[in-house]
Amino acid sequence: MKIYFATENLGKLREVEAILKKILPQCELFSVHDLTPKEKENYIAEEIGVTYAQNALIKAQSLAHALSMPATSFIHPWILDDAKTASMPATSFIHPWILAEDSGFEVLSLNGEPGVYSARFAPNDKERIQKVLQLLQGKPRRARFVACVTLLENGKNPIYFFGRKEGIVAEVPRGKDGFGYDPIFIPEGASKTWGEVTKEEKNVDSHRSRAFRLAAEYILSSMSQHSL
């Protein structure tokens, strides 16, 4: 089974591959890097949405467009003289699933900022972190990461899966691992920031792994229904 993930970020690709393979061991994962140069020209995924879901859909639809996915769902055989073979087996899917994701960091006492604008809150990670810490002075420090994954089947009918991870904002950045806001995020029940733990430790139960696991479970159940 082919799954396309609308990302150019190789780190994210590996992370998501590990999550998906646990639930869908047979899946082959492709990304924007696997497009032909011509297909790549058509992948224009501008994050102009005002919600995670809109941005995820923009990326997913752009990839569907780049792959020129036609509207048909199955290779027939619609074998009409035999009730059993007339059902459409899972292996008859000809089009890949498309996954896309958008995520952000939300601080409760900043009204959910930076949220969907997390990547553009300041020019770089260091300045973004400093900005959050400055705005938060003297305020409650509850925060969470949110990931929204959208799934297209045959380039259509988006389904959304959300994953959230609650925690607090640390007083100062800690740790050299991770990216983005990881050095100032302490998940609920933990003492270390996500900058102080390995990627593997973080991914056991991150916002992203929660959302992708839901998507993978959906694909699995959908495939088994088609093979009934």
Q: Does 173 bind ligand IMP (CB under 6 A)?
A: no
* Number of residues near ligand IMP (by CB under 6 A): 14
**Residue 28: CB minimum distance to ligand IMP, A:** 23
Q: Does 145 bind ligand IMP (CB under 6 A)?
A: yes
Residue 81 is among the residues annotated as catalytic for this protein: no
Q: How far is CA 182 from the centre of its chain?
A: 17
Alpha carbon distance 74, 43 (integer Å): 24
Q: Does 183 bind ligand IMP (CB under 6 A)?
A: no
Position of minimal CB gap to ligand IMP: 180
Alpha carbon distance 48, 163 (integer Å): 21
Nearer to ligand IMP, 4 or 145 (CB): 145
Choice from 149, 180, 187, 210 touching ligand IMP (CB under 6 A):
180
Alpha carbon distance 114, 126 (integer Å): 14
Q: Are 114 and 176 in contact (CB under 8 A)?
A: no
AA letter at 172:
V
Token pair, residue 136, equals: 């938060």
DSSP 8-state class, residue 93: B
Of 62, 57, 6, 58, nearest in space to 30 by CA: 6
Q: Does 187 bind ligand IMP (CB under 6 A)?
A: no
Nearer to ligand IMP, 108 or 119 (CB): 119
Q: Does 212 bind ligand IMP (CB under 6 A)?
A: no
Q: Is 141 exposed, middle or buried (0-12, 13-18, 19+ CB in 10 A)?
A: middle
**Residue 98: CB minimum distance to ligand IMP, A:** 16
Nearer to ligand IMP, 124 or 157 (CB): 124
Residues 6+ apart with CB under 8 A from 158: 57, 60, 150, 151, 152
Which window, 89-97, 156-164, 173-181, 210-218, contacts ligand IMP (CB under 6 A)? Answer: 173-181
Of 146, 152, 149, nearest in space to 164 by CA: 146
In the shown chain, the binding pattern of residues 102 to 141 toward ligand IMP, with x for contact by CB under 6 A and - for none, equals xxxx------------xx----------------------
Nearer to ligand IMP, 3 or 88 (CB): 3
Catalytically active residues, by annotation: 102
